[in-house]
């Protein structure tokens, strides 16, 4: 029954109580028919003597005034059967009519009783959209549903505090981790800038600056990944096509330095999200496509919409990658050094892409190209402007 009715709790309650009423009404009607049958049978058998005389064939002759009625056993059974049928038919119709009215009232009452649960469900759906500041604030008399709503609000308060604490930790970590690196970089640059700095010191300083720069990129990637996985802010309209244009304009020199051809087919791809995180998503896709490429290769960026939502696809040439190695690319700190021939990255690029996509209710995946390289696709729920 539950499988037939699906997950509609209101409909399930209405059908359940309607069936209970029909079962109870049928039982009462059957009991009434039996009681009336036996009562009338007894009444026909105990007619007062002054109104009846017994006939020789076992029938009863009833006289009162000028009227007389003879009821033999066969006629008595016909009378009882007709009365039982009449009572069953009319009683059944009455039960049916009252049952329909009761089911209608049950539907209305079930809707009223389940309305608070609907508010709880709507709030939970908004929470899934990363809006922890909302609360149910159910204004109902004390009871099970009221207690459930209050417990849900308390849980949201604790979650909100936990995420706020995590955001503060990320901000503090960014400051505490970046400050020593900035100080170290400054000291190395000052030492290299001295007039009497020997060539060996200059070469050592260049190596230290490269290591320092790598550490800064790693810390930025870690902080971005943490922010993406805990993103709870309000979302604003963003067009992935505009973001892609900005990223391509800012990273064009990287492709030129490697002699890569860059193509773009940018159609409108409206989404709702954090502009900074979405720009980081697109930037990581483009930089990965440029970094893990082959000489005289190409990079192509496409945006648009489909039935699944708004999407951005970044394709590139490169080393041949097997399909079973694709999941490894999205794991933090995992690089296919032997296949792509480079260990320059931190191993967080595609991890950040997937984390940002999932924090916006989307996802990211990749497909290997037979001739080498990848097609990486990030899909997010489309958000169309109001009125369209």
In degrees, rounded to 5, the angle at the alpha carbon of residue 275 between the alpha carbons of residues 270 and 281 is 85
pLDDT (tens digit per residue) in 361-379: 899 999 999 898 999 999 9
- Region label for 226, one of left (φ > 0), alpha (ψ between -120 and 50) or beta (otherwise): alpha
Strand partners, 134: none
- 196 CB burial (10 A radius; 0-12, 13-18, 19+): exposed
pLDDT (tens digit per residue) in 110-147: 777 777 777 777 777 666 555 666 676 777 777 777 78
Residue 246: pLDDT band by 50, 70, 90 thresholds? very high
| pLDDT beyond 60 at 60 | no
In degrees to the nearest 10, what's the CA dihedral of 286, 291, 296, 302? -10
Q: Find the helix or strand (DSSP H, E) in which 313 lies.
A: strand 309-316
Q: Residue 317 has what pLDDT?
A: 93
Domains of the chain (ranges plus CATH)?
2-45+72-128 (no CATH), 144-229 (1.10.287), 236-380 (3.30.565.10)
Contacts of 272 (CB under 8 A, 6+ apart): 235, 236, 237, 238, 360, 381, 383
Residue 232: pLDDT band by 50, 70, 90 thresholds? low
- Region label for 361, one of left (φ > 0), alpha (ψ between -120 and 50) or beta (otherwise): left
Q: How far apart are CA 118 and CA 8, in angstroms?
A: 12
């Amino acid at each position: 029954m539950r499988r037939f009715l699906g997950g509609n709790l209101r409909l399930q309650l209405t059908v359940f109580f309607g069936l209970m009423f029909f079962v109870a009404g049928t039982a009462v009607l059957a009991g009434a028919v039996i009681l009336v049958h036996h009562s009338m049978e007894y009444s026909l058998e105990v007619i007062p003597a002054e109104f009846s005389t017994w006939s020789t064939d076992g029938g009863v002759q009833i006289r009162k005034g000028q009227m007389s009625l003879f009821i033999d056993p066969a006629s008595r059974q016909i009378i009882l059967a007709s009365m039982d049928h009449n009572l069953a038919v009319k009683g059944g119709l009455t039960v049916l009519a009252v049952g329909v009215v009761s089911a209608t009232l049950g539907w209305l009452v079930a809707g009223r009783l389940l309305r608070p649960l609907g508010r709880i469900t709507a709030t939970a759906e908004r929470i899934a959209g990363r809006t922890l500041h909302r609360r149910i604030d159910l204004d109902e008399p004390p009871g099970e549903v009221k207690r459930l709503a209050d417990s849900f609000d308390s849980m949201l308060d604790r979650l909100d505090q936990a995420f706020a604490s995590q955001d503060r930790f990320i901000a503090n970590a960014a400051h505490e981790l970046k400050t020593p690196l900035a100080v170290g970089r400054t000291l190395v640059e000052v030492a290299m800038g001295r007039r009497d700095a020997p060539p060996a010191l200059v070469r050592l300083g260049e190596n230290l600056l490269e290591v320092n720069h790598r550490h800064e990129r790693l810390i930025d990637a870690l902080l971005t990944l943490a922010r993406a996985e805990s993103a709870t802010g309000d979302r604003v309209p963003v067009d992935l096509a505009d973001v892609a244009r900005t990223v391509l304009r800012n990273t064009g020199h990287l492709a030129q330095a490697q002699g890569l051809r860059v193509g773009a087919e940018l159609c409108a791809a409206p989404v709702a999200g954090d502009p900074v995180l979405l720009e980081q998503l697109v930037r990581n896709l483009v930089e990965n496509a440029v970094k893990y490429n082959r000489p005289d290769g190409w990079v192509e960026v496409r945006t648009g919409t489909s039935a699944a939502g708004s999407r951005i696809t970044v394709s590139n040439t490169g080393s041949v990658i097997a399909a079973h190695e694709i999941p490894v690319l999205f794991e933090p700190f995992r690089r296919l050094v032997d296949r792509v021939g480079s260990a320059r990255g931190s191993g967080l690029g595609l991890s950040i892409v997937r984390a940002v996509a999932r924090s916006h209710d989307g996802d990211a995946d990749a497909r290997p190209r037979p001739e080498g390289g990848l097609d990486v696709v990030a899909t997010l729920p489309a958000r169309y402007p109001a009125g369209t």
